[in-house]
Amino acid sequence: MSGPSTSPAARIRRNAMAGAMGPVGFLLTSFAMTLLRPEVIDAQGWASWPSSMAVGDPAGVGQIMAFLWLAGCYAVFALGALRPALGDPLATGGFLAIAAGDFLLAFTTDGPGAARSWHGTLHLVGVTTATVATLVATVGVTRATRTRADWRAWRLVAWVPFAAAFLGMLSVAELGWAKVVYVLGITLPAAVAAWLVYRDADRAVADEATAT
């Protein structure tokens, strides 16, 4: 018999925590980097944040690790919590694709005026991948929970990634505030989904047992 810490519900809760710790840890690190490297913000503004925080060795290592942390946490959340709790391929696959995009973001962007490099190209691919995958995952989570009244908190924030993606396009025009809102809006809703999965772990296990 499984003990309390190794039961299916406990495993879902443990992995769901990664879905919350990933974006929170990433954002805390990204903002902390602006305090440690104010000269980057002074020179480039916020339009290239947080990618600009990763440029420069060894000063950018902290931001690179933040991208990798986010990628790892989302992969754990997708496979260990979302898949058993919701069973929606768009939700699971979407978060795995976000993880892949965040991994690519760990390849440093090109500085202002620099020629396009292979790692800068991979970084741009990561931005696009993470953004599109976030929208796919949002649709998947919404579809999987559309009949659950107790997931109202998710439906209140499900529009945020779409609005954030639009604002992300504005950041291309050097609107720094739009970039900050984009980053917040594209990451924080995942923490809401993680909290709801954590809360509903027992129900997910019971539903699975009933189905089988």
Higher pLDDT, 169 or 146: 146
State which H helix or E strand residue 205 sits in: helix 201-211
Cβ 161 vs Cβ 138: under 8 Å: yes
Residue 205 has pLDDT above 70, yes or no: yes
Count of all residues that appear for the chain in the document: 212
Where exactly are the structural domains of the chain?
Answer: 8-206
What are the b/e assignments for 54-77, b being 16+ CB within 10 Å?
bbeeeebebbbebbbbbbebbbbb
**Does position 145 have pLDDT exceeding 80, yes or no?**
yes
C-alpha span between 97 and 50 (Å, rounded): 20
Q: What is the structure's pLDDT at 190?
A: 97
pTM of the model: 0.92
Rounded distance, CA 148 to CA 207, Å?
A: 13
Model pLDDT for residues 159-175, shown as the tens digit of each residue: 999 999 988 877 665 77
113: left (phi over 0), alpha (psi -120 to 50) or beta: left
Mean pLDDT over 4-28 rounds to 93
Quote the pLDDT of residue 56: 86
Cβ neighbours, 10 Å, residue 121: 14
pLDDT value at position 1?
43
Angle of CA points 23, 24, 30, to nearest 5°? 85
In this prediction, residue 203 carries a pLDDT of: 82
Least confident of 26-40, 65-79, 100-114, 169-183: 169-183
**Cβ(96)–Cβ(71) below 8 Å:** no
CB-based contact 47:32 (threshold 8 Å): no
- Note the helical H segments in 57-174: 61-77, 83-85, 89-105, 118-144, 152-157, 160-171
Residue 211 pLDDT > 70: no
